[in-house]
Chains A and B, each alone.
Chain A
Amino acid sequence: EAQVTQNPRYLITVTGKKLTVTCSQNMNHEYMSWYRQDPGLGLRQIYYSMNVEVTDKGDVPEGYKVSRKEKRNFPLILESPSPNQTSLYFCASSLSRNSGANVLTFGAGSRLTVL
């Protein structure tokens, strides 16, 4: 089944304890991205990657890191989490052909709570 898989789905952690949210897709998509969802703000892009070893900041990159060493994987790293990073996180992927119709496929979401 074509899908984007995120882990963990739920995590409670404490301020300052490094964590990684993994993301993997099996659709051979070039483009991958991370979003966070907060009430009243919709989804906002954190980082994106056009292809292997090519990453760039989105709208809210502060406090996050990413890497793209393989095409299928795009982990999100919180080096020193803070309470304002408590949120619902989505990984998403799509083809990157020159078309407006590329549909972004989302993972199931990872709910992170930082105490």
Chain B
Amino acid sequence: AQKITQTQPGMFVQEKEAVTLDCTYDTSDQSYGLFWYKQPSSGEMIFLIYQGSYDEQNATEGRYSLNFQKARKSANLVISASQLGDSAMYFCAMREGFQGAQKLVFGQGTRLTINP
């Protein structure tokens, strides 16, 4: 079974609009972490934001926020006031447990295109 599911293969958004990228996850662990990475066309993986399973507040980093709904097992990324430079592939990832191997399991990715 997929541990991380990103149901939107592609999204097209007008510049300056807010955009929500969906991510649902599957785990039986109580301790886990959720990450979002951005991959621009140049190919590198850029860390955007982290949410821990015990964090009560939704994580925010500048224009990025993570809408964490633990009961629904969703961790959607919200980008406010989108910019042309936000066009990229976005990956949601999960780390199960806080000890031992620091393995991340990734979703399939969502390709976001910002139109001027």
* A7 touches B (CB below 8 Å): no
Most buried by B among A50, A104, A105, A111: A104
A93 (CB) vs chain B CBs: closest residue: B102
Contact in complex: A45, B43 (CB < 8 Å): no
Contact in complex: B43, A88 (CB < 8 Å): yes
Contact digits for B53-85, partner A, Cβ 8 Å, 1 yes 0 no: 100000000000000000000000000000000
Chain B residues lying within 8 Å of A102, measured Cβ to Cβ, are 95, 102
* B91 touches A (CB below 8 Å): yes
Contact in complex: B106, A43 (CB < 8 Å): yes
Return the contact of B47 from the options A31, A45, A103 (Cβ within 8 A).
Answer: A103
Contact in complex: B33, A101 (CB < 8 Å): yes
Q: How far is the CA of A87 from the CA of B47 in the complex (A)?
A: 21
CB distance from B102 to the nearest CB of A (A): 5
Chain A residues lying within 8 Å of B33, measured Cβ to Cβ, are 100-101
* B108 touches A (CB below 8 Å): yes
Chain B residues lying within 8 Å of A108, measured Cβ to Cβ, are 43-44
Binding site for B on A (CB under 8 A): 31, 33, 35, 40-45, 48, 50, 56, 58, 88, 90, 92, 94-96, 98-106, 108-109, 111
Known interface pairs A31-B102, A104-B35, A104-B104; 6 further A-B residue pairs with C-beta atoms within 8 A, sorted by A's residue number:
A40-B108, A42-B108, A45-B103, A106-B45, A108-B43, A108-B44
